[in-house]
Amino acid sequence: MTRIDNNPNARAGSAVTVRGLVKHYGETKALDGVDLDVREGSVMGVLGPNGAGKTTLVRILSTLIQPDAGQATVAGYDVVRQPRQLRRVIGLTGQYASVDEKLPGWENLYMIGRLLDLPRKEARSRADELLERFSLTEAAKRPVNTYSGGMRRRLDLAASMMGQPTVLYLDEPTTGLDPRTRNEVWAEIKRMVGDGVTVLLTTQYMEEAEQLASELTVVDHGKVIANGAIDALKAKVGGRSLRIRPADPIELRPLAGALDELGITGLASTTVDSANGTLLVPILSDEQLTAVVGAVTARGITIASITTELPSLDEVFLSLTGHRASAPQDAVPTDAREEVSV
């Protein structure tokens, strides 16, 4: 396991603490000794391919299944010994919208409010308030099976907020959504994080982790293969790349040489992709991006396009482990790009 930064406060303000968690299904080791610390008020991304054990982890932490070995506490409550107290402090948004399809949106929220022991009046007003906040007021009276995918996810998020949880699990909150809807859901999640809730987010997408998480744990085959602050991990796996297309392909090599000489990125060198007539420049920060653009401009070259690209999950895996992600994954919702060594 690659430990990139050492966070001395991990235990002190830890909202979720996981030690040596094991869950086997027959021969399959869904979790094979997982350690995890999520600091209070932070957003921990758990990144991994299908079958890495992400959902198993969330199901154990929400008391839906029991671990075979190891320990886990959420807000100080043990998942095995104190499941009922634990359930009071968590919110769960599943991979598949876990709301009642046949009930109207409002009724779903009201029902959950009552199940959380809110008095009728409070359950009603909180349902109204959350529908408003998640832009679902107009659809309040319609059954959920008439909702679009994005509306369902938003209702699911609203449902997990009914109890004002201190720890929120988001299990692949945008898997299967189109890019526009995904951005909407991200915006909602960011607002929720702004309210101070601690979030454990599982995702298959580097882009999603980068958008939402401050720290990242990369899992594969039920094991943690890397963890740390997202910037540190990005530095290790190469972070973003800037793809520059000069109007005249003849400029490719001179420009690459000039950029490397400047040594802005201090990391991997610029790659020339002559087949596409583009340069790929690894960058770690917006400052570096600005510096690269400034350097290009200074040379007085006409630029046809500049785009930024994130490494795919597969590339993250490749650079962390030297092998590809263990299971086939859905198409990554970043722009399609060809292989480049990072």
Partner 1 sequence: MSAISTEIIKGDARISPRAHARHTGALIRRNLLWIRQDPESMFDAILMPIVFTLLFVYVFGGSIGQALGGGQDDYVQYVVPGMMAMMGMSMAMSVGTGFNTDFNSGVMDRFRSLPIGRGSVLFAKIAVELLRMLLATTIMLVVGVLVGFDITNWGGLLAAVALAALFGSALMWVFLTLGVVLKTPQSVQGLGFLVLMPLQFGSSIFAPTESMPGWLQSFTDVNPLSSLADAARGLMVGGPVTQDLWVTVAWSVGLTAVMAPIAIHKFRTKT
Binding site for partner 1 (CB under 8 A): 59, 62-65, 81-82, 84-85, 87-88, 90, 92, 94, 96-104, 107, 111-112, 114-117, 143, 159, 163
111 versus 268: smaller Cβ distance to partner 1: 111
CB count in 10 Å sphere of residue 178: 12
CB contact set of 262 (below 8 Å; sequence gap of 6+): 291, 295
Cα within 13 Å of Cα(342), Cβ side: 29
112 versus 212: smaller Cβ distance to partner 1: 112
For 55, the enclosing helix (H) or strand (E) is helix 54-61
Per the CB < 8 A criterion, the answer to whether 30 and 65 are in contact is: no
Shortest separation between residue 91's beta carbon and partner 1, angstroms: 9
For residue 262, give both structure tokens: 């400047």
118 versus 342: smaller Cβ distance to partner 1: 118
95 versus 319: smaller Cβ distance to partner 1: 95
Shortest separation between residue 256's beta carbon and partner 1, angstroms: 50
Across 94-214, the runs of DSSP E, i.e. the strands, are: 167-171, 198-203
- CA angle centred on 260, ends 259 and 266, rounded to 5°: 110
CA–CA distance, 285 with 281 (Å, rounded to integer): 12
Q: If you count them, how many residues does the chain have?
A: 342
Shortest separation between residue 110's beta carbon and partner 1, angstroms: 8
Shortest separation between residue 102's beta carbon and partner 1, angstroms: 5
CB count in 10 Å sphere of residue 265: 23
Shortest separation between residue 17's beta carbon and partner 1, angstroms: 17
For residue 213, give both structure tokens: 């998480």
156 versus 210: smaller Cβ distance to partner 1: 156
Shortest separation between residue 117's beta carbon and partner 1, angstroms: 6
Q: Rounded to the nearest 5°, which phi and psi values hold at 320?
A: -85, -35
DSSP for 91-126, written as a single string: EEE-SS--S-TTSBHHHHHHHHHHHTT--HHHHHHH
Q: Which residues of 12-51 are buried (b: 16+ CB within 10 A; e: fewer)?
A: eebbbbbeebbbeeeeebbbbebbbbbbbebbbbbbbbeb
Shortest separation between residue 87's beta carbon and partner 1, angstroms: 4
118 versus 313: smaller Cβ distance to partner 1: 118
Shortest separation between residue 73's beta carbon and partner 1, angstroms: 13
5 versus 117: smaller Cβ distance to partner 1: 117
121 versus 323: smaller Cβ distance to partner 1: 121
Closest CA to 155 of 89, 197, 201, 94: 94
Shortest separation between residue 217's beta carbon and partner 1, angstroms: 21
145 versus 297: smaller Cβ distance to partner 1: 145
